[in-house]
Amino acid sequence: MIPRPGKQLLSVDGALSAAEAIRLDTWAVAIASEIKDRPPVADGDSFRIGTHGSLKLNPGGSWYDFEDGKGGRDTRSLIAHLLSCDRATALAFALEWLSTHEGVGPLSAEGSSDEHDELANIARIQATWNEGVCINDTPGAEYLQRERGLDLCQLNATEREQLRWIENARGDEGALAAAVTDSAGGELVGVQLTYVTGSGRGSEIKPKRRIYSGPLDWRARGLFRLEGNEERTFYLTEGLEDALSLRMAGYGRVGAVLGVAAFGLAKMAGNVTKVVIVRDDDLPWSPADNAVNRGVVRLAAQRLEVAVTPRPCALFPDEDHTSLKDANDVLRKYGVEGARNLIAKAGLKLGRIDAEPVIDELCRLDEFAFSAARKAAAEVLGMTQEGLKRAWSKRRKQHSETLETVGEEEGHAGHVEPIEIRRSCARSSTTTCGSSIGT
């Protein structure tokens, strides 16, 4: 299978389709094993090949070569690395491999954003970001304009630099790349890819998005950020397009957590005094609804004033949660005025909620953080602050007694593991990247 001088390869006139690119990633282990002429060794869900297992291959196609200090996010880049060839030759190799190997290989196509090799993660996100080019006049910009009603001309130059276009990111599909940074213009800690066809349409092939993480603490530091000014109120959305929608509506300091469970994990800048969570239209008591309520606790624990927008359908009763899912839907259907009306209705009167996730999140805080979060949590739960303090103290006591019992059963009487303190902390960084992120 390894291309040799004079061997005829398949034509590279046609690009690999997105589905074929995903299938190729499942063959990464077999391909690397054949090229290096070494057997693979399982390492959890991953595999290692070579001297002391120096080449690590992860589910989803990402890889890292510890000997060479290089990594990538897909099998085509792996082939180019192992054969020291250009992308066209790597593509020809991939096409020939797929033509002689039916079905899928042994590596899972479902990638994880949290592989535990920090060095490999950081190299991967930097390599992914470096693949990108200016977003202007690309299918990525067309997708945002045509499908999402977002005009990038309304962003300033620094804000536009938070977005890039990666050609052929997954076979014949490109990707809209969004930077996840630890501050405005700061260190790159992750990259989200939204797969887009060459005609500027969002991909119909799953996964439609993928997040690549860098440092292991990236969630405690990273947001997609559009910070056009130093407003003291920060508007926090779940998705990339929602953040862009708020920017189109005139809000100057906006970010996206890129996953509902991440609300409140990243520490906000010191000059932010209020955060408005701009929620999606998730059903009451759903896991997503509970995640938003947990986010309120985390943000309040940072001594921030917190407000949550109503569900879009509550503001526009003629709609339902399938037609008006988020802030981007509001902007497209009701314009800037609709988006601003959504923000204006933000508060902490959230109606009937599942109290358990809120109490649980509070019990993850130490007394200092609890005192900061107590007022907001009490308002969300419809309790007095004194009643909430009693409930918190009782739950903490029960937790400690449970741990003491477990310790005695395990022969460690008197030893109590501390309750997890989820107080987001961000590592300060002076890393900047000039006019762009990374190099």
* Tens digits of residue pLDDT in 308-334: 999 999 999 888 878 899 999 999 999
Domain 18-112, what architecture?
A: Alpha-Beta Complex (3.90)
- pLDDT by residue (tens digit) across 227-241? 988 899 999 999 999
> So what's the pLDDT on residue 403?
55
Orientation of helix 87-100 relative to helix 18-26, angle to 10°: 80
Residues 126, 119: Cα–Cα separation, whole Å:
11
Q: What is the 3-class SS of the chain, one letter each residue?
A: CCCCCCCCCCCCCCCCCHHHHHHHHHCHHHHHHHHHCCCCEEECCEEEECHHHCEEECCCCCEEECCCCEEECCHHHHHHHHHCCCHHHHHHHHHHHHHHCCCCCCCCCCCCCCCCCHHHHHHHHHHHHHHCEECCCCHHHHHHHHCCCCCHHHCCHHHHCCEEEEEEEECCEEEEEEEEECCCCCCEEEEEEEEECCCCCECCCCCCEEEEECCCCHHHCCEEEEECCCCCEEEEECCHHHHHHHHHCCCCEEEECCCHHHCCCCCCCCCCCEEEEECCCCCCCCHHHHHHHHHHHHHHHCCCEEEECCCHHHHCCCCCCCCCCCHHHHHHHHHHHHHHHHHHCCECCCCCCCHHHHHHHHCCCCHHHHHHHHHHHHHHHCCCHHHHHHHHHHHHHHHHHHHHHHHHHCCCCCCCCCCCCCCCCCCCCCCCCCCCCCC
pLDDT over 90 at 133, yes or no: yes
Least confident of 21-30, 44-53, 141-150, 195-204: 44-53
Greater pLDDT, 434 or 165:
165
- pLDDT by residue (tens digit) across 202-213? 999 999 999 999
Greater pLDDT, 148 or 6:
148
> So what's the pLDDT on residue 368?
95
- pLDDT by residue (tens digit) across 357-380? 999 999 999 999 999 999 999 999
Least confident of 2-6, 15-19, 193-197: 2-6
> So what's the pLDDT on residue 404?
59
Residue with the two structure tokens 């998730």? 282
Least confident of 200-204, 245-249, 394-398, 428-432: 428-432
- Give whole-number Cα distances, 178 to 129, 163, 277, in Å: 9, 5, 20
Mean pLDDT of 126-144: 97
How many beta carbons lie within 10 A of that of residue 355, not counting itself? 15
Q: Where are the domains of the chain?
A: 18-112, 132-222, 223-422
Mean per-residue pLDDT of the chain: 87
Residues 225, 68: Cα–Cα separation, whole Å:
33
List the one residue out of 111, 166, 110 whose CA is nearest residue 139: 166
> So what's the pLDDT on residue 10?
37
How many beta carbons lie within 10 A of that of residue 356, not counting itself? 10
> So what's the pLDDT on residue 111?
67
- Percentage of the residues of the chain whose pLDDT score is greater than 70: 87
> So what's the pLDDT on residue 413?
40
> So what's the pLDDT on residue 290?
97
Orientation of helix 367-381 relative to helix 355-362, angle to 10°: 170
- pLDDT by residue (tens digit) across 79-129? 999 999 998 999 999 999 999 999 999 998 886 545 568 888 999 999 999
pLDDT over 70 at 435, yes or no: no
- pLDDT by residue (tens digit) across 288-303? 999 999 999 999 999 9
- Percentage of the residues of the chain whose pLDDT score is greater than 90: 76
Mean pLDDT of 408-423: 40
Choosing among 3.30.70.960, 3.90.800.10, 3.60.20.30, 3.40.1360.10, the CATH entry for 223-422 is 3.40.1360.10
